[in-house]
Structure 1
Amino acid sequence: MALGPKIWFDEVNARGGVHGAKIRHVVLDDGYKVLDTVQRTRELVQRPDLLALIGFAGTANIAELLNQNVLQQAGVALIAPYTGGEPLRQPFNPWIFHIRASYADETEHMVEHLLTLGMDRIGVVYQNDGFGESGLAGVKAALAKRKLSLVSSASYERNTDQVDQAVRTMRSADVRAIIMVAVNKPAASFAKGYRAAGGGAQLFNISVVNPAELVQLAGQQAVHGLGISQVVPYPYSQQLPVVREYQTLLRKHSPGAEINYTSFEEFLGAKVLVEALQRAGPAPTRAKVIQALESLQNLDLGGVTFSYSPTQRVGSRLVEVTVLSRDGKLLK
């Protein structure tokens, strides 16, 4: 997540910066813990030179920033949070500028895809927090829209990969497909445990997982055929100009780093932010950055387009489905 913005900021700085000023990218670790997210963010926004925030993770983490009015009190924008949680979008708040489609968009697309394949008996394994509940609600809504119901659901606790109960629940349920609303370690643990227990349902996961890490943690056999929804274009080919640019700058500024969806998504977020900084002028403020972000209409970054306005904070609704192949590669 930090690498994607870094390579673009490094490139912008190498070209002379924005209006002659260099970008300083400060990265703090919150350990995916809600209270630490709030504390670290409070530390950052107290800095008078801070203009914007980028790339936070966790629906519950960011929701707590809203609950405690941290962004509002600081008057600062958060760009490209790594979450599609609906509570961060509805009701409307002016402080968060989303790069990605929502989990509701992702689950709608997954349910439609599964029903097209004739799989109407669907279960959900979800993280027991705002992230997981948002995905669960999305699946239920997509099914209800088609006059169908969820067959089974099972949760696991945040910051753990203890999913044995979820494996047992899904193994005993008559489901044809399981949508996981899970992060890397518990998703891998569930896939490995479920397959070892003889489970044969089609597995899907929401976009926040890293395919390479899933293969490393669970083994190729357990995740072969796993479908993963994606909210930015496929970063492994070179069909789009922005993908070619990302790959070139990754090699230039971080030799040896692997191409992946996460860094590419946050690379796009950094490009949106830099465009706003340029439009904010040579003496930017937090308020000017927000106004500049609101002015980005049909911003084409090289094959992918984002649009914002004073009443629109979701820049893209793109959703695609990818599948892990037998050799652990991600196929579009």
Structure 2
Amino acid sequence: MKTMAMLARAVTAAVAVCGAQALQAAQIVVGQVGPLSGLEASQGRAYGTGMQLYFNAVNKAGGVGGHTFTLVRRDDGGRPEDTVAGTKAMLAEDRPLVLAGYFGTKNITDLVASGLLEKERIALVGYRTAEVRSETPLLYNVRATLRDEVNKLTEHLATIGITRLGLFYEDGPGAPALLAAADEAAKKARASITHKAAYEGGTAKVTPAVDLFLKNPPQAIIMISSGAAAAGFIEQYRGAGGAAQLFAHSGADIEQLSKRLAEEQMQGVAIAQVTPSPYKVASRLAKEFNDLVTKTPNLEVPVSYAMMEGYIAAKVIVEAVRRQGARPTREAMAATLDAMDSYDLGGYAVGFKPNARSGSRFVELSIISGAGKIRQ
């Protein structure tokens, strides 16, 4: 009888613990306000699809400490005013624990200026811009900085004897910092940027820039632009006989270029990549990603580098929630990210510190072959 009584008490205690864990478990809402339509829709949707891919896998396995993840998305069409308005509405209606997957230089600038992140004490993990940003509280990126990309591009060009460069870039508040970084990188590589041509931010109005480089041909042109602007530039420049080598930063996804450009226009274009390739299994992270893609029918968009980046952002968010334990909060999310000094995702490391919130230094170049395929 004594043994039976002890067993009954043990079962009761176990049920109580399970019940307490169930009460503590939460549905973690992750909010994305990004371009689900418009010029950058393919990248915005791909980023969200990558996040959802990982969240689904985590939820299927029972969550993290019982916590499950829900991705809520709103479309800003690439318009900065809609980014701010959509974020404000989402914070009020959906109560996300963290934001992720934002796009656009002015979009991010206006969001920070609105004070919403600071007021709500909410972190933004994973975003894409075409500017050299200063460190900003509550903004965490899972990729290398644009400065890292520009350094990689200019160093590569110097090794193959190309020293007269052109710069095609997005105009806006962040342009002076970008121009200074590009000049500094070129100087280190013993090269010079002979001509610079801007296009209006949030558009693909590239004709004046194309005309400038046709009249003043450099050996190579570095493109720091959105994917839509890069595609428009390449199309017009190559169509008019422009012969300079073209090097793009990671915002110019090959997937977006291939939808618009002919193979002969894309041939030889080099693109800086800030994540491992989603097309080959060269690391544990890439294998995990590809295994989940294989098991997931009817993906919203085709596999891409932007999808891989979204997948990485989701892994960082889930890890930050795991480290918080039973009661994750917005304030603890930021503190946990600041203490995430080195998190190995499987051959790709992400690390943050209070004054260093660009989490990676990984940059490699991919070159588009004559068949329109990527080769490293």
TM-score, with length taken from structure 2: 0.83
1:164-313 alignment to 2 at 5 Å? 164-255=207-298, 257-313=301-357
**Equivalent residues of 1:55, 1:79 under 8 A apart:** yes
The secondary structure found in structure 2 opposite 1:274 is: helix
Alpha-carbon distance in 2 for matches of 1:275, 1:96: 17
For structure 1, the residue ranges without an aligned partner over 5 or more in a row are none
Q: CA shift at 1:294, angstroms?
A: 2.1
The one-letter amino acid of 2:266's match is: V
Query: Could you say which residue in structure 1 is the equivalent of 2:88?
Result: 42
Instruction: Flag as ranges the 4+ runs of structure 1 deviating above 6 A.
Output: none
State how far apart, in whole Å, the 1-side matches of 2:139 and 2:57 are: 25
Larger radius of gyration: 2
Structure 2 CA distance for partners of 1:14 and 1:206, relative to 1, 3 Å:
same
By how many angstroms is 1:254 displaced?
4.4
Aligned pair count reads 329
Alpha-carbon offset, residue 258 of structure 1: 2.7
CA distance in 2, matches of 1:176, 1:49: 51
**Partner secondary structure for residue 117 of structure 2:** helix
1-structure distance, mates of 2:306, 2:145 = 15
Cα shift readout 1:63-106 (whole Å, capped 9, x = no counterpart): 1111121110110000011236322xx1x322011111111111
Structure 2: gaps of 5 or more residues: 1-46
1:87-144 CA-to-partner distances (Å, cap 9, x unmatched) read: 2xx1x32201111111111111101111111111100111223566654443222123
Matched, 1:26 2:69: no
Q: Is the aligned partner of 1:54 residue 2:100?
A: yes
| CA contact 1:81–1:98 (8 Å) conserved in 2 | yes
Distance (Å, rounded) in 2 between the aligned partners of 1:134 and 1:26: 33
1: CA distance, partners of 2:283 / 2:261:
32
Question: Which residue of the other structure, out of 155, 174, 182, is the alignment partner of 1:139?
Answer: 182
Using the alignment, how far apart are the partners of 2:355 and 2:207 within structure 1?
44
Structure 2 Cα separation of the partners of residues 304 and 98 of structure 1:
14
State whether residues 185 and 217 of structure 1, in contact with CA within 8 Å, keep that contact through their aligned partners in structure 2. no
| Alignment check: 8 A CA contact 1:212 1:328 kept | no
Residues 1:114 and 2:160 are matched in the alignment: no
Q: Percent identity?
A: 33
Q: 1:131 and 1:206 mapped to 2: Cα distance?
A: 16
Q: Counterparts of 2:233 and 2:356 in 1: how far apart (Å)?
A: 37
Work out which of the residue numbers 53, 65, 68 in structure 2 matches 1:7.
53
Secondary structure of 1:18's counterpart equals coil
Task: Name the TM-score, length of structure 1 as normaliser.
Answer: 0.93
2:34 matched residue in structure 1: none
1:134-163, Cα deviation, whole Å (9 max, x unpaired)? 544432221234564311111222333332
Q: Which amino acid aligns with 1:247?
A: N
Q: Is the 8 Å Cα contact of residues 225 and 249 (structure 2) preserved in structure 1? A: yes
